[in-house]
Structure 1
Amino acid sequence: MKIVFVIGRLADTSGGAERVLRDISEGLVARGHEVTILSHSRSQTPSRHAFSSAVRHHNLYSSKAPLRVTLAVRLQRAFGSTGLPAGSVQKALFRSRLLPFAAKIARFLDEARPDLCVGFMGEGICALALGRGTRPTSALASLHSAPERLFGTLDGKARLTLDALDGYDAVSFPLQEHISGMEESVRQRAIVLPNPVDLGDGTACAQRSPVVAAVGRLVPLKRFDLLLGAWARCVRDGWMLEIHGEGPERPRLEALVRANGLAESVVLAGHTEDVFSVYRRASVLVHPSRFEGFGLVLAEAMGRGVPVVGFADAPGVRSLIRDQVNGLLVAEPGSEAGLAEALTRLMQDAELRARLGADAPATVEAYRLENALDAWESALVSIAGAVQRSGGISPSPRR
């Protein structure tokens, strides 16, 4: 089967969704499918997630943009998406920026005639919808973040993405819980396609250190400030907290460490190239994030037998953590005291840590690469076959 993935920026990126695209596309090629990726990256720096030569990649970006596109870009840069007039003006500006990309997608589809197209994340979904038009090519819209993050603020990109979904045969999310927050017209075509995760060999490490680990970018969404407040309340008894990641919140977090007298028990370890070594050493993983599209670090840790802690009200976190089965969920939203209680309980109870860690790998087995590929391949073949059998053409996106 000939499959085309369309994504916005791919060069010089290292996000989780881009890694998912790499793993899925590489896996489909290994199973005999022909996969092409169309992107629109101004930078020519390769993606940090290396793709093999078996996956065809075309960067369709051109510096020679039409005047109206240049004006749209300058307006957005000058005022910012939230500073522009609401509604149709924002959407029109974002749409104008995508038109050159969409035109090249249209030409590619006419020449390549793929069996199926996948719009990958918001910009890819919008560009493919515009470029595909009424062509009789089946299409899947693949979303990779929580609806709260995607559509919480209806800026131009969010509005155009919601409109573009109307033109797709199916819409996928990595977790079931994300579907309930969408409109009925989307829910009727929604499917769950698991993100592939490197789960290791499924066995727990015998020798672990008295370390509670946290992994993620140092940004407000991850709530590492809340974690530090909770850590100050914990009965630590020689335990260390290691926060692995970089980002703009580092100076503020460093100040909080000093202000709370935590310098001897907290390490802001920065970015690590070998996050799996962190999971092998740590006895507990804590993930205080407000929400996630998919809690990748949670699944990676659980696959290696690490019990996890998060908040029960956090989308994308609550779907992966099963309270008292593979970790602990803090019931009270954003509670430092509740988080401190859960962490202290795990640090003081080796038997509980061992039980939760031993049961954790089985709870994320669906995300193992081969299992995830089975689900993706089956869905893609089914979508393409259904459209071909009906002879139908999906409706074009609302303008």
Structure 2
Amino acid sequence: MKIIHVINSLATGGAETLVVDLATSMRSLGHDVKIVAIGRTRGVPLDVARARELRVNLLGRSTRDLGALLALRKSLRGADIVHVHLFPSLYLVPLVARGAVLHYTEHSTWNRRRDKRIFRVPDRFAYRKYSRIIAISEGVRKPLQKYLAKLGVHSSVAVVANGIGDAFFSSKLRRHRDVKPPLKLIAVGTLDNRKNFGDAIRAVAQCPLVQLTIVGVGPERDLLQNLIATLHVSDRIRLHGPSDDVAALMDQHHALLSTSRFEGFSLVAAEAMALGLPVIGPDVDGFNESVIDQTTGLLFDQSRGVPDIVETILELQANVGAFAEMSENALEHALKFQIQRAAESYLAIYADSLQD
């Protein structure tokens, strides 16, 4: 099959990383695969794609530029399958794609469009153009299916769990972990409101003998740096910036900490577990499908805020025996999230849609 993945950009992010890994796996399975990135923003996923010599077409256009539609239409010619990720690519591709079968993957449990009536007409138009709609978790599927019903779109939504790259399973860093003071936590993601790193900093500030490294870039960097200074914890909490080798950084820590307000799945959690790191994170739909509470990590009650995060961190720190067991369980559990499994599931969906 000739498959084209379309995404807003190849900036650093979970969906962008997934697209690069899917393209890599699908190519290895014998398919003709290309990635089309509409916007100008670039990040680690683009660097990885180029290192793997994937076919990438960077349109370098604003998603609000009408010229992007012409460039996008040209880039999609000859495809059997066009697989779209994220908004506004959701809207743009149906306007210009001709001849290909369209697929769309929903990556989030919620978006602002669903709360605004003005988006219902364009959402209805766009979703109806897709032969198959896929969610990355059951937590993503349920609210999406409910929203589609409200729109009068009667498509069923399949679930294909996210996959992580083969490097995490072949890595020498994949090993059993033990914990000893100080407990070293790592957090990874875009420094924005959704990732809620402020609560991570406030929580770790209240936990003696706990350190935190935050990996990523984003609009809240200065705000978070000021918070670290205000709480006088620069000796224990640092902003690392971006990294093209997150696995190596994870290897220097005991566990992953996530404080996301919502999460469709959590590639970072799956990556951490593949290396044997237990995960502390929110008990929210999507995230709690990737991390099993009391088995591969500990989940906190997001509604209780920072105090429950503190309590959960201290629980992990105090129970050495449980930590070792979680590390072993994490190594095993992560095998469910190998990228080839995800790629094969998508390929089966593509093949089925071509029979319609």
TM-score interval, normalised by the smaller of the two chains? 0.7 to 0.9
Measured after TM superposition, the shift of residue 103 of structure 1 is 4.5
Residues 6 and 120 in structure 1, CA contact (< 8 A), matched pair in contact too: yes
Residues 163 and 337 in structure 2, CA contact (< 8 A), matched pair in contact too: yes
Q: Distance in 2 between matches of 1:44 and 1:175?
A: 26
Residues 150 and 158 in structure 1, CA contact (< 8 A), matched pair in contact too: no
Amino acid at match of 1:249: E
Q: Distance in 1 between matches of 2:42 and 2:310?
A: 45
Give the match for residue 219 of structure 1. Answer: 192
Give the match for residue 66 of structure 1. Answer: none
Q: Deviations for 1:86-141, whole angstroms, at most 9, x for unmatched residues?
A: xxxxxxxx8xx4654444555666x62x3222223223222221113xx5532211
Q: Distance in 1 between matches of 2:115 and 2:126?
A: 17
Residues 40 and 59 in structure 1, CA contact (< 8 A), matched pair in contact too: yes
2:335 equivalent among 358, 365, 368: 365
2:31 equivalent among 10, 25, 33: 33
Gaps of 5+ in 1: 63-72, 74-93, 388-399
Q: Distance in 2 between matches of 1:221 and 1:334?
A: 17
Q: Distance in 1 between matches of 2:224 and 2:240?
A: 12
Q: TM-score, normalised by structure 1?
A: 0.76
Residues 99 and 127 in structure 1, CA contact (< 8 A), matched pair in contact too: no
Percent of residue pairs bearing the same amino acid type: 24
Measured after TM superposition, the shift of residue 303 of structure 1 is 1.1
Amino acid at match of 2:7: I
Greater Cα shift, 333-342 or 14-23: 14-23
The 5 A counterparts of 1:34-113 are: 34-41=32-39, 47-51=46-50, 55-60=54-59, 97=64, 99-103=66-70, 105-106=72-73, 112=78
Residues 255 and 277 in structure 2, CA contact (< 8 A), matched pair in contact too: yes
Give the match for residue 141 of structure 2. Answer: 179
Give the match for residue 7 of structure 1. Answer: 7
Measured after TM superposition, the shift of residue 226 of structure 1 is 1.3
Does the alignment pair 1:270 with 2:241? yes
Does the alignment pair 1:164 with 2:164? no
Q: 1:271 to 1:14 in 2, by over 3 A?
A: closer
Does the alignment pair 1:240 with 2:211? yes
Amino acid at match of 2:80: D
Q: Deviations for 1:289-330, whole angstroms, at most 9, x for unmatched residues?
A: 101233121111111111111121x34322222111111111
Give the match for residue 294 of structure 2. Answer: 324
Amino acid at match of 1:233: Q
Q: Distance in 2 between matches of 1:194 and 1:44?
A: 25
Residues 137 and 160 in structure 2, CA contact (< 8 A), matched pair in contact too: yes
Amino acid at match of 2:102: A
Give the match for residue 347 of structure 2. Answer: 377
Give the match for residue 164 of structure 2. Answer: 197
Residues 218 and 250 in structure 1, CA contact (< 8 A), matched pair in contact too: yes
Superposition RMSD in Å: 3.1
Q: 1:7 to 1:262 in 2, by over 3 A?
A: closer
Residues 122 and 161 in structure 1, CA contact (< 8 A), matched pair in contact too: no
Measured after TM superposition, the shift of residue 27 of structure 1 is 1.8
Q: 1:343 to 1:189 in 2, by over 3 A?
A: same
Q: 1:37 to 1:155 in 2, by over 3 A?
A: farther
Q: 1:379 to 1:348 in 2, by over 3 A?
A: same
Q: TM-score, normalised by structure 2?
A: 0.84
Q: Distance in 1 between matches of 2:60 and 2:240?
A: 36
Residues 208 and 283 in structure 1, CA contact (< 8 A), matched pair in contact too: yes
Compare CA radii of gyration and give the structure with the larger one.
1
Does the alignment pair 1:231 with 2:230? no
Q: 1:344 to 1:208 in 2, by over 3 A?
A: closer
Amino acid at match of 2:278: P
Q: Distance in 2 between matches of 1:228 and 1:7?
A: 32
Measured after TM superposition, the shift of residue 220 of structure 1 is 2.1
Residues 117 and 138 in structure 1, CA contact (< 8 A), matched pair in contact too: yes
Measured after TM superposition, the shift of residue 20 of structure 1 is 1.6
Q: 1:118 to 1:346 in 2, by over 3 A?
A: same
Give the match for residue 106 of structure 2. Answer: 143
Amino acid at match of 1:143: E
Q: Distance in 1 between matches of 2:350 and 2:195?
A: 33
Q: Distance in 2 between matches of 1:126 and 1:6?
A: 11
SS at match of 2:219: coil
Give the match for residue 342 of structure 1. Answer: 312
Measured after TM superposition, the shift of residue 353 of structure 1 is 0.6
Measured after TM superposition, the shift of residue 372 of structure 1 is 1.7
SS at match of 2:104: strand
